[in-house]
A and B are shown apart, each in its own frame.
Chain A
Amino acid sequence: MSDTLSCPVSGAAESLPEYPLQRAAECPLAPAPAVQELRAAKPITKVRIWNGSTPWLVTRHADQRTLLTDPRVSDDDLDPGFPYVNAHRAEIAPVTPRLITNTDAPEHTRLRRTVNGPFVVKRIEKARPAIQKIVDDLIDTMLDGPNPVDLLTALALPVPSLVIAELLGVPYKDHDFFQSSSSLVLDSTAPPEKAREVSGALSAYLDNLLGEKMTDPGEDVLSEMGGRVKAGEMTRTEAVHMGVAMLIAGHETTATMISLGTLALLQHPDQLAVVRETEDPKVIANAVDEVLRYLSIVQTGVRRVVKEDIEIGGVVIRAGEGIIFDLHAANWDPEAFPEADRLDVRRPARTHQAFGYGPHQCLGQNLARLELQVVYGTLYRRIPTLRLAAGIEELEFDHTGTTYGVHSLPVAW
């Protein structure tokens, strides 16, 4: 099945488009038609965002790689030209400490190296048996429960909750609080005052937990950060903000890749069969990267501001101008991925930019890959008759959050 053949044309290339661009209801897993048209016709072009400003939109895979590794392209969200995702982000920028999410090299490099330890590939890989147990137990419970069931509540949301709780050392009893808080903070339509209140509650909770871990450390990331605070390598505020960021960043994203990923595979039975029937972990790993590429769930784009004039692709991006990198557009760029609109779990997919690109590429990507490898490698084998228990046209998709998603995914077997 090809999602794009019947997708409508928007005419976006003719005017100054409003960003984010709207997906077509009949092609819920494809990028917005307008973004595909812009990539072909005007790969570096101005768009209008929520506050009326007009940053550049970069849609080609190759241009994104060039710019996202260019030191003149900055993550400094105190720069007045920074193209904020929403009013809440604009409001909190001046009161947010400098973190890996808003600094450039060399400060960024220093900060990132203080938080990388838990995500070292070999260390993450050691969590595989624990993650496998979490997934096995949830599927056991799912098979003993009602049929059909909502895959989000049965599996997709609990997996990252349990995994991140275990990694950070957050007790699982608080997971309802975290799930609802993170979804509210990530919802760009939420009122700024509500988002601020919830961010504050999360920070206060983690600050308290960090304090406990500094007195009585365990084998977890908060304890490790507590040790770094005591050693003077990071401040307590930095540690708390990092904890909140890890929790939020790893939560809905992974859950969405489980729910939407399952939907995408159910829509492509031949591809699902490859995943279900393989004995080769490399095939599963590649399928995870291909589904990451195909879905590219971050839908508000990567945001940057330019510090010095940059000439690229026949345009000049001036110092002080914002840039938005649409990751879905790059990952469906036919120059990077032939027949990019086709989900093909055997294609070389590793150069996708679903986790972004450049020094700010997702810190948790190795953990996310591992969680998805365990879920994709287990769910469809254990429940080979898994099917959608609703028409795709009945599903409600989330068009407003930082990540795309589906509000519920009824499945049966």
Chain B
Amino acid sequence: MRVELDEPKCVASGQCVMAAPEVFDQRDDDGVAILLDEHPVSELHDGVREAAAICPAAAIRLVEG
């Protein structure tokens, strides 16, 4: 799985951090998402899929495979 974050679309809701804290973080000052791991290990995939599903800005794209 490859994770892509469309940062200009991010509205800093932090939902990705709640769903997959190992893969996403937020900048301290404005909360914009930070992608920590573009190729997360398979144990983290469910959390990453949830993050993509609940991102209110639809800013997370997953390339499965």
Q: A residues within 8 Å of B by Cβ?
A: 69, 105, 108-109, 112-114, 116-117, 119-123, 350-351, 356-361, 365-366
Q: A350-B50, A357-B56, A359-B57 are in contact. Are A117 and B30 (CB under 8 A)?
A: yes
Instruction: Establish whether residues B56 and A366, one from each chain, have CB atoms under 8 Å apart when the complex forms.
Output: no
Residue of B nearest to A69 (CB): B58
Write 21 A-B pairs (CB below 8 A) sorted by A numbering: A69-B58, A109-B9, A109-B11, A112-B12, A113-B31, A113-B32, A114-B30, A116-B32, A119-B12, A120-B12, A120-B28, A122-B26, A350-B54, A351-B53, A357-B56, A359-B56, A359-B57, A360-B11, A360-B56, A361-B56, A365-B13
Report Cα–Cα, A113/B29, bound state, in Å. Answer: 8
| Chain B 45-65: CB-based contact to A (< 8 A → 1; otherwise 0) | 000001001101110000000
Q: Say how far B60's CB is from chain A's closest CB, in angstroms.
A: 12
Residues of A within 8 A of B32 (CB): 113, 116
Report Cα–Cα, A109/B6, bound state, in Å. Answer: 13
Number of A-B contacts (CB under 8 A): 64
Q: Say how far A132's CB is from chain B's closest CB, in angstroms.
A: 19
What is the predominant secondary structure among interface residues of chain B facing chain A? loop
Highest count of chain A CB atoms <10 Å: which of B8, B53, B57: B57
Residues of A within 8 A of B56 (CB): 69, 356-361
Q: A117-B31, A359-B57 are in contact. List 16 more A-B contacts (CB 8 A).
A: A69-B57, A69-B58, A108-B11, A116-B30, A117-B29, A122-B17, A122-B26, A351-B53, A351-B54, A356-B56, A358-B57, A360-B11, A360-B56, A361-B11, A361-B56, A366-B18
Report Cα–Cα, A351/B56, bound state, in Å. Answer: 10
Residues of A within 8 A of B18 (CB): 121, 366
Residues of A within 8 A of B57 (CB): 69, 358-359
Which of B8, B13, B28, B58 meets A123, CB within 8 Å? B28
Report Cα–Cα, A365/B28, bound state, in Å. Answer: 17
Residues of B within 8 A of A356 (CB): 56
Report Cα–Cα, A360/B26, bound state, in Å. Answer: 18
Report Cα–Cα, A105/B57, bound state, in Å. Answer: 11
Instruction: Establish whether residues B53 and A116, one from each chain, have CB atoms under 8 Å apart when the complex forms.
Output: no
Closest 5 CB pairs of A and B: A116-B31, A361-B56, A121-B14, A113-B30, A116-B12
Q: Say how far A74's CB is from chain B's closest CB, in angstroms.
A: 15
Report Cα–Cα, A113/B17, bound state, in Å. Answer: 16
Instruction: Establish whether residues A120 and B14, one from each chain, have CB atoms under 8 Å apart when the complex forms.
Output: yes
Report Cα–Cα, A186/B38, bound state, in Å. Answer: 44
| Chain B 1-31: CB-based contact to A (< 8 A → 1; otherwise 0) | 0000000110111100111000001111111
